[in-house]
Amino acid sequence: MRDAERFCLNRVSLSSTETKALIARAVERLQGEVPALGQLKLVVKLELRARGGDAPIWRVEVPGPKVDRDPAGDARVEVSVSRSHFNELARDGRLRDWADAYDHGHVRVSGDSSVIKLLGNVMGRQRARSGA
């Protein structure tokens, strides 16, 4: 990682462009670790909760990923995570880290129960294969 990237990721307030790139990088890392995710056609509403009540909403479409600051009215799954946890997960998080954050309530997932169940099964099988 270049020093400029590290500096941007460690700042508390990221620009919209930097956030978009960070989201894309997190999705690409998860797709690399769980190849089956790259086959899904899905829109996710990503809420990045921050102190002070500000919670920017991002529309993440896969495959791609295509990331836009948008209310994501067509999302089948909604993911809510605090900005600080997201920055850490997006920077260094592996599938195991995302699963632990979900298990501890730092990442909340809601929406279409059949899609959530499918995602859980795919990720669970991958974790079992990798021993994570």
Cα–Cα distance measured from residue 120 to residue 123, given in angstroms and rounded to the nearest whole number: 5
Q: Domains of the chain by range and CATH?
A: 3-122 (3.30.1050.10)
Count of CB atoms situated within 10 Å of the CB of 11: 10
Q: Please give the structure tokens belonging to residue 48.
A: 């990045």
- Residue 132's pLDDT is 58
pLDDT at 86: 95
Rounded Cα–Cα distance for residues 18 and 9 (Å):
8
**Separation of alpha carbons 127 and 45, rounded Å:** 24
pLDDT beyond 70 at 124 = yes
> CA 55 → CA 83, 86, 114, distances in Å?
9, 12, 26
For the segment 54-87, what is each residue's pLDDT rounded down to a tens digit?
789 999 999 989 999 999 999 999 999 999 999 9
SS3 state at 60: strand
**pLDDT tens column, 93-102:** 999 999 999 9
CB 67 within 8 A of CB 48: no
| pTM listed for this prediction | 0.83
**40, two tokens:** 């899904």
